[in-house]
């Protein structure tokens, strides 16, 4: 059985590995000192993130909302394959719950598609 695997950038895996394995990431956002950033999963971005934390900055994460998931999954759903999304756990992030909400909404739009 073929399927599409997606995850979010909180997986902390190298982007090159995800690309090699054909795992499609959706990027999370965060702010540091009121400046918004999008996790692009680049080595220089990771270094900058931790350098700022070592200097005393406190990052604040932002969970994805259901609409962001729907927009991310919509072109993938059109391929007609089931999607398996690997997310941060519900005890760590509200992103998981928003992903479930989005899957339910998308499932109504794409009735023959399945999410796991």
Domain coordinates of the chain in residue numbers?
Answer: 1-27+63-116, 29-62
What's the predicted TM-score (pTM) here? 0.81
CA angle, 87 then 6 then 102, to 5°: 70
| Fold adopted by 1-27+63-116 | Rossmann fold (3.40.50)
Q: Name the least confident of 4-8, 26-30, 112-116.
A: 112-116
DSSP string, 44-99: HHHHHHHHHHHTT---EEEPPPHHHHHHHHHHHHTTT--EEEE---TTT-THHHHH
The model's confidence at residue 46, banded by pLDDT at 50, 70 and 90, is confident
Question: How far is Cα 101 from Cα 95, in angstroms, rounded to an integer?
Answer: 10
How far from the centroid of its chain's Cα atoms is residue 24's Cα? 9
What is the SS3 assignment for 25?
strand
Q: What is the mean pLDDT of residues 82-101?
A: 85
Task: Compare 63 and 24 and report the one with higher pLDDT.
Answer: 24
Question: How far is Cα 84 from Cα 58, in angstroms, rounded to an integer?
Answer: 32
- Give Cα separations from 53 to 8, 61, 88 (angstroms): 21, 13, 21
């Amino acid at each position: 059985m073929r399927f599409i695997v997606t995850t979010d950038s909180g997986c902390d895996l190298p982007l090159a590995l995800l690309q090699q394995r054909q795992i499609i990431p959706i990027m999370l956002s965060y702010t540091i000192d009121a400046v918004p950033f999008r996790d692009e999963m680049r080595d220089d971005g990771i270094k900058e993130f931790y350098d700022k934390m070592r200097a005393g900055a406190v990052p604040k994460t932002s969970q994805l909302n259901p609409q962001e998931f729907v927009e991310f999954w919509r072109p993938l759903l059109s391929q007609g394959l089931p999607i398996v999304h690997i997310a941060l756990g519900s005890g760590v992030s509200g992103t998981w719950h928003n992903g479930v909400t989005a899957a339910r909404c998308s499932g109504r739009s794409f009735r023959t598609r399945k999410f796991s």
